[in-house]
Amino acid sequence: MLFALCLTNVSRSLREAFRESLLERRGNQDASDANLFCEEVEDETLREIAVSSITEAVRDLCIEANTRLPQEHLAALSRALEAEESELGREVIERLLENAEVARERCIAFCQDTGYAVFFVELGSEVRISGGEIGAAIDEGVRRGYEEGYLRKSMVRSPIDRTNTGDNTPAVVYYEPVPGDGLKLTMLVKGAGCDNMSALKMLTPAEGLQAMKRFVVETIERAGPNASPPLTVGVGIGGPFEKAAVLAKKALTRPSGEPNPDPDLAVLERELVDEINATGIGPAGYGGTQTALAVHIESFPTHIAAFPVAVNLDCHSHRTASAEL
């Protein structure tokens, strides 16, 4: 990072020296020309990404995420099939795996609820978006993807005005600035059934870890069959109120079953999977030993007087896809 800052400072110094040299040779009346030239030189250090390529990538992600379940999730379902002790539970998982194969082969939606189009966008500091605005490009990609992929349009204007927007826009987009010259788009298709069963609670530090674990398990128990298990469970802890909710949703974009790199959180994830599966809710709520396929926890620093925890549930049709430009 220090080396990069040094290079940036050097390049700025060179541009300023070149500008002063131009002004000395041409006179101050050419200051605007010198400034323009320096701006052009600076722009050349940025990687340009056209909005048309973003729109095309989003279109493809919408179709891919809705029709092709990630291999990691299919592997998690296969492991659950082997571990499930209930005959009816095993039959449910078998149907889910068959449905995934049909959806992939025929390029049709795995589930009728094609959900919110949620995007996590990692935008490099050395990227310049050209030809338009990135948010509009994402919405246009969603519009095309849901139309060309024959996907249900589920967005309404507001909770009060229930008029359908007609194209599943607007997308729900979270931006994260990152170093470098890349742009990564990660899509999460989020159905309402499981999202409606999600919850957030502002615990106190005195209530501690055990209260946090109880809240997660109680959220699953309240959801019962309504969240369409077996589930992927996203848990966000830390930050202020709204940060915990975003963390919980972002946790769902991690490959199914991939542990948190923090060893303490990885242990906590495994403990919660065991406790959730001990509820006996089972696949589709018919009873069984496989209620959760994975628990993913994301953490963020928080206030000395706070312990926020959010739980965002994702159903058996855990639909994510990513693209890097």
**CA pseudo-torsion sign 159, 165, 168, 169:** negative
C-alpha separations of 142 from 121, 254, 286 in Å: 14, 22, 35
The confidence score (pLDDT) of residue 27 equals: 52
Residue 122 — φ and ψ, nearest 5°?
-100, 110
Other Cβ atoms within 10 Å of 159 Cβ, number = 6
The confidence score (pLDDT) of residue 22 equals: 44
Contacts of 115 (CB under 8 A, 6+ apart): 154, 189, 190, 191, 192, 319
Q: Report yes or no: 294 and 233 within 8 Å, Cβ to Cβ.
A: yes
Starting at the earlier edge strand, list the strands of the sheet with 319-324: 172-178, 116-124, 183-190, 319-324
The per-residue pLDDT for range 52-90, each reduced to its tens digit, is 999 999 999 999 999 999 999 999 999 999 999 999 999
The confidence score (pLDDT) of residue 8 equals: 38
Q: How far apart are CA 230 and CA 289, in angstroms?
A: 10
Please give the chain's pLDDT, 325 residues, in tens: 333 333 333 344 444 544 555 445 445 545 454 444 444 445 568 999 999 999 999 999 999 999 999 999 999 999 999 999 999 999 999 999 999 999 999 999 999 999 999 999 999 999 999 999 999 999 999 999 999 999 999 999 999 999 999 999 999 999 999 999 999 999 999 999 999 999 999 999 999 999 999 999 999 999 999 999 999 999 999 999 999 999 999 999 999 999 999 999 999 999 999 999 999 999 999 999 999 999 999 999 999 999 999 999 999 999 999 999 9
pTM for the predicted model, two decimal places: 0.85
* Helices and strands of the chain, counted as H and E runs: 10, 10
Question: Which residue is listed with tokens 């069959």?
Answer: 225
The confidence score (pLDDT) of residue 44 equals: 64
Q: How far apart are CA 85 and CA 287, in angstroms?
A: 10
Burial (CB < 10 A; 0-12, 13-18, 19+), residue 106, is: exposed
The confidence score (pLDDT) of residue 17 equals: 47
